[in-house]
Structures are given as C-alpha cells and as structure tokens.
Amino acid sequence: MTEPDRPWYRQVDGQQWRAFFATFLGWLLDGFDFTITTFILIDIQNSFTVDSALAGALGTVTLLFRLVGGLGAGMMADRWGRKLPLMLSILWFSLFAFLSGFSTSYAMLFAFRALFGIGMGGEWAAGMPLALEHWPTRLRGLASGLLQGGWYWGYILSALTFSYVYPMFSSVPDPFSDSPNSTLGWRVMFWTGVLPALLVLWIRTGVHESPVWLERQRHLKEMGRNALEDRVSVVRLLQPDLIWVTIQSSLLISAFMFSYYSISFWYPTFLRGLELDPLRYVVAFNTGAIIGIALWGRASEGVLGRRGAVTLAALCGVVSVPLFLTTSSTVLLLVGAALMGATGGGIWGMAPAYLTERFPTAVRGVGPGLSYHVGAAVGSATPFVLGQLQDGGMTTGSAMMSCIAVSGLLVALVIWLGPETRGVHFDSRDSE
C-alpha cells in the first residue's frame, strides 16, 4: 500500500506525533491561560473598580506583548533550534499566569498580563515550525488545522474550569483586596495557570529537534558557517525578496486577530449579560471551531488551496452573525455559536501552514513569529475598542456584530494579496 493510500494518521510516525503534541499541548495550555481572563472580567472590574474599556485593555496589553515573545523566541528558534525557546516560553507564561492571581492592584495585574503575553507569543513562534517541519508536506494543511485547534481546546478547558472550579471559591472573601465585592474565585482561576509548566519535562525528554533545522545546521557546517553567525536574522525579513512577504503576512494576521477577538473576547460577558451560563455556548463555539479548522485545513490541500479556504470560511462567518448574536432562541444561539466557531474560527486552520510556507528555513522561526505577533499587536486593540464602543452606548452584541462583519471582509481581501502556498516543500537550503 502506497503512502497516499494509507489512512492519514498512519502516514505520521511516532516522532512526528510527539512533535505535534508538544506544540499542540503548549498552544492548548497557552489558550487556557489567556481565555481564563474572558470569564472573569466582571470580577476584575468589581475588585479594582475599572470600566469596561480598562478591563478590555487586559486583553490588549497581553496581545501587544506577544510581539516581544514572538520576535525573541523566533530568533532563538532559528539560531538554537525550535525546542529550547518552546520550553522557555511555556515556563514563562505559566509563571506569570500564576502570579496574576496575586495582584493587589489593577496596575500590578496589568503588568503581569503584559509579561504573560511574552511567553504566549514565544510558544507559537517556536512550536509551529517544530511541528510542521516534522510532518509530511501533503498533510501540512491538516496538521495546521489540528495544531491551531489546540487554542480552542484550551478555551473549552477554561470554560470548564470557570463552571466547576470558580463556584467553589466565588463566595470566599478575597484576602488580597479591600473591595467588599471581590472574591477569591477569579484569583484561583489564574492560579490554575501554573499547570502547563509540567509539559516542559516531557518535551525535554520525549521530543526531537526539527529535522529541517538540523539539516540546515549540517549544511552550514559544511560551508564553514553556523546559525549563531546570523545575529541579525530579523533584518533578513526586510530585504527585497522577503519584505512584502513580511508585510502581507502581518496584515493577514492583523485581520485574523481583529476577527477572532471581535468574536471571542467579550463573548462570555455578552452571555452573562443575557443571564445565560456561558459554558454550553462557549463549548459549542469551540467544538465547532475544532472541527471547522481541521476540515478547512484539510480542504486547503485540495482545489480551494490556502487562499480559497480562508476566503470561504471568513465569508461564511460573516453570514453566521445573526444566529450567533441576535436570535432570542437559546437553541438557535447554540447553533449560531457552533456555526460561528466552524466558520469565523475556522479561518485559523490555514494560518500555521500559510505562514511557515511563506518563509525560508533560515527565518522560519522569526518570520512567522514576527508576522503572527505583529498581527496580534495590531489586533490587540480589538478588546479595548469593543469596550469603548460599549462605554459609548452600544450593547455588547452590537459592538461585536459590527466588528465581526468588518473583520471578516478584511480577511477575505488580504489573503489574496499573497500567493498560493499549498504544496510548498521545506528545504534546508532554500534561503541560500
């Protein structure tokens, strides 16, 4: 039986799966630690007496500082391999997620979430090339979707934690706050964020370095060079052959981030405003996204390509807005949540593959890392903007609806500013 005739999961060997799960679990736990905040914005407002715009700014500063982590870890990944910065990033964001729970002022919490964002950015920049450089070219779109789905699994995990752990502490007085409205519940949510640190032990012993990166090191050695000599790898992104790649990739992820945080950041608050338990709706959204991004990622290997799959998913997300936000039926709200996840969330299935395919091996850490997190930095304004729209008189649902529609159209436009990348082969010498 030839490779294409075998079931796809049997075309992936043990080491390829381990590289996959190292990145997948890191991204899942990264998503868990970040989305915890979306469930406790009301508690944070009560504890520190801040308005919606300032509460939303916690998401903004976290996303903004992802750029620092993405750039730093990306450069490390190109010089010293993909594994080391992946492990350091997981340890970093676990530490500052934990410390967030000890904040005694809004300024302290703001600083801890900014520092958390550095580790959050580093995990993606190092992890995605590690996994995708291991996997077969013909399955990269599927791997891309499955990997990015880790974020949505993390969102589900944080929803479950909020539903089952938070109530156990929501009536316990907060020993770190003078506010009578503050309880221990939101702090415990942050304290659970230290758990991802345990993943590092397994990565250290069970995962091999990227074979493409190792082959490049052998090639450089043969030429009498080494990766440590590429001290200004980020400058390589600004050279004529890569500058448009960097710009277009950054614009694309900016649109992606604008779309995602329009959909997700204020969503639990929107549901709590309707006096609905966020759990089942968040689970429906993220289950839809997990399925959708895998299917769209797989579809991008066929006639649609990366660009066609992104465009179709984004436009379907825009069409899904009425069911997602405006219906009065709880059943239809559930259907809308699942549909929005599968479409508006589904665009992310192509992101890791598309970005890693746009950049050569020598800068496959820093290139996608910079582009992804420049996009995150630009998109970081979304939670704050949505908060401002609400402070200006719009309902949470109306603010979300307006931003989702605009961002979905931007995604569908910007993806066509770059070439189709389906089927690109990773070559250790492709930057020579």
- Weakest-pLDDT range from 178-187, 277-286, 307-316, 406-415: 178-187
Copy the structure tokens of residue 1.
């039986």
Res 49: pLDDT: 81
CA 277 remoteness from chain centre: 24
More confident residue, 288 or 182: 288
Residue linked to tokens 């406790």:
40
β-strand partners of 183: 173
Q: Is the pLDDT of residue 432 over 60?
A: no
The CA distance from 185 to 187, in Å, is 5
pLDDT interval class at 229 (50, 70, 90): low
pLDDT interval class at 224 (50, 70, 90): low
Span 310-364, pLDDT tens digits: 999 999 999 999 999 988 888 999 999 999 999 998 898 888 889 999 998 888 8
Res 287: pLDDT: 93
First to last CA, the chain: 37
DSSP for 271-320? HHHTT--HHHHHHHHHHHHHHHHHHHHHHTTTTTHHHHHHHHHHHHHHHT
What's the average model confidence in pLDDT over 196-224?
82
User: CATH number of the domain at 15-188+233-417, out of 3.30.230.10, 1.20.1250.20, 1.10.10.10, 1.10.1500.10?
Assistant: 1.20.1250.20
Q: Is the pLDDT of residue 98 over 70?
A: yes
* Helix orientation angle between 83-100 and 106-132, rounded to the nearest 10 degrees: 160
% of the chain surpassing 90 pLDDT: 30
CA 323 remoteness from chain centre: 25
The torsion of the CA quartet 14, 19, 22, 23, rounded to 10 degrees, works out to: -140
Judged by DSSP in three states, 327 sits in: coil
The CA distance from 221 to 413, in Å, is 43
More confident residue, 248 or 155: 248
Res 2: pLDDT: 54
Span 16-59, pLDDT tens digits: 899 999 999 888 888 888 888 888 888 888 888 888 778 778 88
- Weakest-pLDDT range from 15-29, 88-102, 163-177, 213-227: 213-227
pLDDT interval class at 225 (50, 70, 90): low
pLDDT interval class at 274 (50, 70, 90): confident
CA 143 remoteness from chain centre: 15
Res 413: pLDDT: 95
